[in-house]
Structure 1
């Protein structure tokens, strides 16, 4: 009978070793927990906060721009900017993301890989998406894809107001026009908040608002959008009809200097910059200088009347239709013989104004032109506004004085020329011009001439649009308008060019009580018609006609003998 096996017993030393190991491990874990909750607790708390709590910038809405009647010209609309963290994105989901964004998968994968290799944690996917389209992408639930709220600038009138308003960049900062000039005023102040986000970037909890966003201030312009559309349409049609290089038109309120319309050709669409050409962004009405040509003759005549040496019926012998000054022949269109002062304006006689200017002298002509604003700025603060040029008296020898008298050898912008013409509508005072609606009107203005002389010159300009004048195409049915044509040779590399012109018409309406001042410039018209009376005068007529009716200006009485009436009125002013 065999003996029973004895049970295996664990050696005491082995049991003690294992137990000691467990005790030691427990002490290590306990020590680690104590250290984490004491020594490293602040560090771990900070790291945890960085991984969950985020500080978000809340963009402020940019102030809107409206016309004088509150019609929106520039507004900001909510959009969403999508971005991703290349360190979190799953490469397997890139094709799905690319399809949602309408991007080639290879292009997106290459961008993500490049950002991942550079250890970047931020990469734009698409900026300024509509909230609906952005939400469709976010609903895919792709880790690492996020969306931030933003605003995009929109211009309801598009190319019609582009040159005046300008544009903003993708970050909402003004780059051109009034958007640039009033950028700080329109921008507002961004807000900030502290939020808790989950792994997918979703906001779990809003901790606190650190700064409330403040929207930018709104800007109200003096411009009337209805008149802006009218002026833009007519100018665009004229530039196309004459195959001209460019054009500009400025419409002012003759009573206070408000800019009611300011348009340029060619233009651009600020809402779609895919085909934007930099040369189309020039605000030619403010930034480009022109030689105004014969539109300056009313100022030479006004200077002569203001001197007291001449009256409106004073006669000047312009025979034989040519005058030589320093071996240069200055000609009229034909020999007009003896003309009175009114006739010099009606027939646009170069010889007549040259004789007046030589009699008055350079000091008188320079002083009068400078008071009218020639060679000065309009002090609008508009970015890129050009400064006009007027030679000083010591620079005005006989020849240069002669050319200045009929609008050569000096330069103005279309806006500056329009402002100068307000001296004839407000009793001899040059009005300050406004693009932004002023809080209060400045009652003072720059006195240039007497009210009597201003009235006389306006009446004279009325004869220009008569059948015997040079601007008969500027006539307006139902209203009596007045103005002056101008045709100036353009300057090329070797001086004035014979076959290139700037066609100008500057005028007021109605002349019985001027309500509006309008300047039209057509640059380098091609074809058989190039005179200001042929090219710019019809544009003046169409714009002014619609503007007067839109502003509900009562028509003049249809007097077939209105020219005779003007002459009679002029005689009354002379008697006074």
Structure 2
């Protein structure tokens, strides 16, 4: 490399440009100044021009929209007595990300929650990327406070509501229940879930990194509580039905039972009881069969309870009169390859006697005179083969086979209750129609939600058949145990074999369907006892009629229904007074003798 000496005597490399210090300083200063301008411009853009996006990002880390819980509407009976209410409870939740940072505190937390440690660890590990997990839901606030008192990092509580059913098992099938999220699952809770459910509110809050609320920002939406619902059920009559069913199952060894009580004029369901039952306050996954509302979901062949309707069809068609004579000797008649028999040879009967003595042969003679389509249509008009429209979830429509599939024996067996099926509620509605001068009403579970009745049968025919049915509960009838002193009772017993394997078994349904009082009908009731012990009795007059008497006796008094049989009422009052005098006589004698 060659060198040269500049004019100042400094030796420099030959051929290189002279170093310009001033230019270099100017360039660096310009670049730094330009960077400063860019930074200031960016700061202005972030802070003033386009700050919404970044504010949103910041809020996302600390601002949360949390729900405001609300309660379901209360369910009451027709008199305002609470049947289902919502009580405030607490739910304990945790932040898995925070909890997993303190594994040494998990054994303490598991003990406080009352769960195995491995179960808690597994739940937290499975949700390690989440910020929320329920640890224990819908517990008493005091229990939640006890858990929070351990001050485990990442554990919090929130307010919720839990459904409570004061009547317990007695109304379980009517009301149903709600799940862990307070949504209706069965019964009225499911049918009216949208009406009963409230609309949760929402509010924005700021939470710190531990999940604690440090500031309420604003109210997004106010909570709207659910609407209340008043049922047609009378809890007093419901209790009577439940109590008498239970006593009857114990007395007869039966496996199940149902009872339905209707207000004849309005179709309002006053009671609907079933056994076996369950506790809606503590529903488990076991015994699902006990949750079934047999009164509206179970199909049964109605047996002899259909006979008054068969008689009504004959009277309406004009093929018989109340005085038509039927010779039932020798106690059986052919029915294709089979026989139609009575429980014994009933001899010669008139139309009323066919009902009083419950003659299968008598009703068979009546349907012989009826056109197939006419008889089918008559049963359909009384509500057989279609849902009642009560609105209860899972209600069955029953089975009324079309005429096109009838065999040579079908109509005859249908006349005394075989070959078709119905629910207890359908039978109760049919009897209410007879008692309501032939006007059909739609059953309802909601008070005041009844419709105008529809005339489906001549009033004169309905009234005539009702009078015939009164003889069933009088001396000589098949259900004298359904008689209520002071009131005329119209009804019909039934004992039907249970279908099994394409035939019929030696197991039975025992029925009683009745109306009271006859002069001014108020209540229609159906009692069905499933599979009573044959050694203890199977006939409806013995098994089911006493249930009717006990429940209706109480209902008539609870509703202040005046007696329509004054003579027996006065006789009963005199008998009660005599018993009271007999009980008080020993006490008076003891007092007179000077003993305390």
TM-score, structure 1 normalization: 0.87
CA distance in 2, matches of 1:32, 1:94: 52
Q: Secondary structure at the match of 1:87?
A: helix
Aligned 8 A contact 1:234 1:539 in 2: yes
Distance 1:140 1:465, change over 3 A: same
Q: Give CA deviations for 1:2-42 in whole Å, capped at 9, x if unaligned.
A: xxxxxxxxxxxxxxxxxxxxxxxxx9xx9999699556664
Query: Is residue 2:105 matched to residue 1:93?
Result: yes
Query: Is residue 2:120 matched to residue 1:112?
Result: no
CA distance in 2, matches of 1:508, 1:63: 35
Aligned 8 A contact 1:79 1:129 in 2: yes
Query: Is residue 2:543 matched to residue 1:531?
Result: no
Stretch moving more, 35-44 or 288-297: 35-44
Q: Give CA deviations for 1:175-231 in whole Å, capped at 9, x if unaligned.
A: 211211211121121211011233443332211101111111211111111111111
Aligned 8 A contact 1:164 1:283 in 2: yes
Query: Is residue 2:513 matched to residue 1:503?
Result: no
Aligned 8 A contact 2:324 2:350 in 1: yes
Corresponding residue for 2:451? 442
CA distance in 2, matches of 1:304, 1:201: 77
Per the TM alignment, residue 397 of structure 1 is displaced from its structure 2 partner at its CA by 4.4
Aligned 8 A contact 1:141 1:200 in 2: no
CA distance in 2, matches of 1:260, 1:355: 37
Q: Secondary structure at the match of 1:216?
A: coil
CA distance in 1, matches of 2:557, 2:538: 29
CA distance in 1, matches of 2:515, 2:286: 35
Query: Is residue 2:316 matched to residue 1:306?
Result: yes
Query: Is residue 2:557 matched to residue 1:549?
Result: yes
Stretch moving more, 96-105 or 315-324: 96-105
Per the TM alignment, residue 494 of structure 1 is displaced from its structure 2 partner at its CA by 3.7
Gaps of at least 5 residues in structure 1 are 1-26, 563-576
Q: Secondary structure at the match of 2:97?
A: coil
CA distance in 1, matches of 2:300, 2:372: 22
Q: Give CA deviations for 1:48-79 in whole Å, capped at 9, x if unaligned.
A: 42333221111222112111111111111111
Query: Is residue 2:174 matched to residue 1:143?
Result: no
Q: Secondary structure at the match of 2:96?
A: coil
CA distance in 2, matches of 1:561, 1:469: 20
Per the TM alignment, residue 263 of structure 1 is displaced from its structure 2 partner at its CA by 1.0
Aligned 8 A contact 1:145 1:200 in 2: no
CA distance in 2, matches of 1:172, 1:561: 50
Gaps of at least 5 residues in structure 2 are 1-32, 571-596
Per the TM alignment, residue 283 of structure 1 is displaced from its structure 2 partner at its CA by 0.9
1:512-527 map, 5 Å: 512-527=519-534
CA distance in 1, matches of 2:83, 2:346: 51
Per the TM alignment, residue 506 of structure 1 is displaced from its structure 2 partner at its CA by 0.4
Distance 1:110 1:35, change over 3 A: farther
Q: Secondary structure at the match of 2:515?
A: strand
Q: Secondary structure at the match of 1:559?
A: helix
Distance 1:110 1:310, change over 3 A: closer
Q: Secondary structure at the match of 1:88?
A: helix
Distance 1:347 1:44, change over 3 A: same
CA distance in 2, matches of 1:460, 1:317: 18
Q: Secondary structure at the match of 2:409?
A: helix
Corresponding residue for 1:56? 66
Query: Is residue 2:258 matched to residue 1:251?
Result: no
Corresponding residue for 1:571? none
Distance 1:306 1:111, change over 3 A: closer
1:147-546 map, 5 Å: 147-274=157-284, 276-439=286-449, 441-443=450-452, 445-497=453-505, 499-528=506-535, 529-546=537-554
Stretch moving more, 48-57 or 503-512: 48-57
CA distance in 1, matches of 2:38, 2:83: 66
Stretch moving more, 484-493 or 167-176: 167-176
Per the TM alignment, residue 110 of structure 1 is displaced from its structure 2 partner at its CA by 4.2
Q: Secondary structure at the match of 1:232?
A: helix
Per the TM alignment, residue 557 of structure 1 is displaced from its structure 2 partner at its CA by 3.5
Aligned 8 A contact 2:486 2:568 in 1: no
Q: Secondary structure at the match of 2:498?
A: strand
Distance 1:166 1:87, change over 3 A: same
Distance 1:560 1:213, change over 3 A: closer
Per the TM alignment, residue 170 of structure 1 is displaced from its structure 2 partner at its CA by 0.9
Point out the structure with max Rg over C-alpha.
2
CA distance in 2, matches of 1:142, 1:34: 46
CA distance in 1, matches of 2:39, 2:471: 102
Q: Secondary structure at the match of 1:180?
A: helix
CA distance in 1, matches of 2:137, 2:280: 17
CA distance in 2, matches of 1:386, 1:359: 31
CA distance in 1, matches of 2:339, 2:352: 24
Alignment size in residue pairs: 532
CA distance in 2, matches of 1:200, 1:395: 72
Distance 1:204 1:560, change over 3 A: closer
Aligned 8 A contact 1:358 1:398 in 2: no
Report the aligned-residue RMSD: 2.5
Aligned 8 A contact 1:143 1:199 in 2: no
